[in-house]
Amino acid sequence: MNIEKKGLKLKFCALALAALISTPAMGAGVLYECDLNSKRANGWVSQKMAFVFEDSGAVKVIDSVLLNFEIGPMNARARTSGDVSRLTWNIAGATDSVGQRVPTFSYTAKLNLKTLGLSVLAKPVGYPQRFTGKGSCVKRNNAKGFPKSLR
């Protein structure tokens, strides 16, 4: 799967910013913008990922895999214990690089809210393959740090 397309980073930043500022009240919510080192290039774990924790408790995720399949931001389930938030979401009906349909791809991310470290595991349900990535995040409470053209 070739998901690293020209202009994808700009589209990603625009969607992440839109997700942050579209929360119910201005200043509500927190965006975690994350950079990951994936074990496999052009795989199922993006090099860039973002999570929006809304004040209501809802969490949204966006990455290049979701953009590749034109899904857009997706709701994730979050369970927080201490400083670690465990996030899970699924992608249904994806197609791999050889055109084979994968009924469900299951994602689990562990975000340390104190150190801002992130680990991600992606697995096609019912298959033995595992795709992983580790990295770090930047916590954003507003649009500061985004290109001015996106604000």
For domain 8-139, give the CATH number.
2.40.160
pLDDT number for residue 16: 55
pLDDT number for residue 103: 87
| Main-chain dihedrals φ then ψ at residue 17, nearest 5 degrees | -65, -40
Domain residue ranges of the chain, discontinuous segments joined by +: 8-139
pTM here is 0.78
Burial of 6 (0-12, 13-18, 19+ CB in 10 A): exposed
- DSSP E strands, 96-146: 101-112, 117-124, 131-140
Is 28:54 a contact under the CB 8 Å cutoff? Answer: yes
List of the chain residues with pLDDT < 70 = 1-28, 41-42, 142-151
pLDDT number for residue 143: 58
